[in-house]
Amino acid sequence: MEGIRWDGVSRLKGNTPSADLRKVADNDSFAREKRAEAIFSLFVNHLKLSQGAAKVGETLKAEKWLNDSSLERLSVLIGWLPVKMTFEDTVFCLRLFPDKKGWSDWVIYFRLSGRSNRRRSPCVSPGRQGPQKKPEFSRIRSVLSC
């Protein structure tokens, strides 16, 4: 997807309400490309750096689309990553609608402040509107969609 460029400008910039984007993202009758575009648009237009985990969870409300995706915490750096990896923060890789081999044409990397041993991000866990208890993460640090 060619939406994000290195200069931070996105062709996905818009003012579609997050609820409308979530409806498209959660609707498996839409093409995967359309669903992925809606998810990228959520990240581009409705998430802001330094937002807390609860606000990120409230914005994404990943009820269905996350079940069709692969979310993993990156704990080992092998090669290049599009977001900075630090000892103080945790980096996640979100592959939207991967095939049986795990390959996806749509990948989002994001970094949250704080460390965690969780395999999944508390911000986008399915069926949740954010962490139910005090999150281990406090802020979103960076996001890059590929």
Task: Provide the residue ranges of all domains of the chain, joining segments of one domain with +.
Answer: 18-145
Give the alpha-carbon dihedral of 111, 46, 19, 146, to 10 degrees.
-50
* Tokens, residue 57: 């969870």
Provide the terminal-to-terminal Cα distance of the chain, rounded to the nearest Å: 7
The pLDDT value given to residue 133: 36
Euclidean distance between CA atoms 33 and 96, whole angstroms: 10
pLDDT at 5: 40
Q: How far is CA 27 from the centre of its chain?
A: 17
Which residues touch 144 (CB under 8 Å, ≥6 apart)? 4, 82, 83, 108, 109, 110
Residue 137: what pLDDT? Answer: 45
> CB atoms < 10 A from the CB of 84, how many?
11
146 residues of the chain, pLDDT tens digit each: 333 444 556 677 888 999 999 999 999 999 999 999 999 999 888 888 777 778 888 888 887 898 899 888 877 667 667 677 777 788 888 899 999 998 999 988 887 777 655 545 555 544 444 433 333 444 555 555 55
Decide if 115 contacts 91 (C-beta within 8 A). no
